[in-house]
């Protein structure tokens, strides 16, 4: 017997669309199911100014399928040379929704990120003044810090000091991967701290990546952690706590760039995120909380209206078939495979 769940149309509060041929191929995958998405600015070169964000937004709109209402919410890439007034103008115009902080060297295309956080203090103070959120990639990049400990170290060394020094700054901890991150978010009582959780971090731990051979399409940054952390993320996502919301961090790379001696980090989940989330929430006995996580908590944090149209998810009697990859002019992009059969599908 089939089961059916309807949701307000979800949003994706952390999405990579890339540019050029990959953008044109993957944009329809997100536009099919999501109303809006926070678009990451880590292109090469990065999207640093309001003018660059406006040009990138135009390219995304051109890549949407005909008739699509998918709305890209643009971000600026924070550098040590970012002009606070340019941020303020772009935010006031409605063009830019948030600013993204990458510690230099933390992840894909992050070389232009921040090394000296004192040099961006003026920008952060302006953002607190105007109510512009800061989205953070929460990892330190010090080589002496183990890669599995970098999120916890970032909270202690970088994030907590920034928030204490900049009262009122709204911060999104993106792609949480640890119990430490979950517990830190829960300490916030004033509505200035939220967090996104990805689909793939609810499904895989570091054993999935490493046991029995390296699986490059499970390699992401922040890297998947121990099982205890995955379970903490599941508990947070399915709790109904409005401080946690969906940000897929869907990050397309062509197979040639993933399956190489130094493969790129990122899991491409745009195609099948919603059925996978329904599977996870069903396992946790929390299907009634899926709409909050995917459709309500994010708009509430960003001060935006919820979408008004709805989509339906149906659980069928036979497994749902997802495409193995999305073809682009630059080569195929493999779709995240959860490693188990999924019976949910999006009906509309």
Supply the residues annotated as catalytic. 249
Greatest CA separation found in the chain?
Answer: 59
Q: Render the burial of 44-57: b for 16+ CB within 10 Å, e for the rest.
A: eebbbbbebbeebb
| Residue 5: strand pairing partners | 313
**Cα angle: 178, vertex 17, 72; to 5 degrees:** 95
Q: Report the candidate in 122, 132, 64 with the shortest Cα–Cα distance to residue 96.
A: 132
On whether the CB atoms of residues 328 and 337 are closer than 8 A, the answer is: no
* Three-state secondary structure call for residue 58: helix
**Cα angle: 159, vertex 294, 67; to 5 degrees:** 115
DSSP annotation string for 84-144: HHHHHHHHHTTSEEEEEE-BTTSSTT-TTSBS-GGGGHHHHHHHHHHT--EEE------TT
State the Cα torsion 24-29-31-35 to the nearest 10°: -140
First-to-last C-alpha distance (Å) of the chain: 19
Q: Return d(Cα 229, Cα 237) in angstroms, integer.
A: 12
- Residue 280's CB is within 10 A of a number of other CB atoms, namely 23
């Amino acid at each position: 017997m089939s089961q059916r769940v309807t949701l307000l149309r979800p949003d994706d509060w952390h999405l990579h669309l890339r540019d050029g041929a990959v953008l044109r191929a993957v944009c329809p995958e997100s536009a099919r199911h999501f109303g809006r998405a926070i678009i990451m600015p880590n292109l090469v070169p990065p999207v640093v100014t309001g003018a660059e964000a406006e040009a990138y937004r135009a390219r995304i709109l051109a890549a949407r399928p005909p008739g699509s209402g998918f709305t890209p919410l643009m971000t600026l890439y924070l550098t040590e040379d970012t002009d606070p007034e340019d941020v303020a103008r772009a935010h006031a115009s409605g063009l830019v929704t948030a600013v993204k902080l990458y510690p230099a060297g933390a992840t894909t295309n992050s070389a232009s990120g921040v090394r000296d956080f004192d040099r961006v203090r003026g920008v952060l103070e302006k953002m607190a003044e105007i109510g512009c959120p800061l989205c953070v990639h929460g990892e330190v990049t010090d080589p002496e810090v183990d890669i599995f400990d970098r999120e916890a170290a970032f909270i202690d060394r970088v994030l907590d000091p920034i928030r204490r020094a900049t009262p009122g700054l709204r911060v999104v901890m993106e792609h949480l991967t640890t119990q430490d991150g979950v517990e830190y978010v829960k300490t916030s009582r004033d509505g200035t701290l939220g967090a996104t959780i990805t689909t793939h971090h609810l499904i895989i731990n570091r054993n999935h990546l490493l046991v029995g051979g390296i699986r490059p399409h499970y390699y992401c940054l922040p890297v998947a952690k121990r099982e205890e952390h995955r379970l903490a993320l599941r508990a947070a996502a399915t709790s109904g706590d409005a401080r946690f919301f969906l940000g897929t961090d869907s990050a397309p790379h062509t197979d040639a760039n993933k399956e190489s001696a130094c493969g790129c980090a990122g899991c491409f989940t745009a195609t099948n995120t919603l059925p996978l989330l329904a599977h996870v929430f069903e396992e946790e006995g929390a299907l009634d909380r899926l709409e909050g996580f995917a459709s309500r908590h994010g708009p509430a944090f960003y001060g935006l209206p919820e979408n008004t149209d709805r989509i339906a998810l149906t659980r069928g009697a036979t497994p749902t078939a997802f495409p193995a990859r999305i073809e682009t002019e630059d080569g195929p992009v493999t779709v995240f495979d959860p490693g188990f059969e999924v019976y949910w599908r999006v009906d509309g």
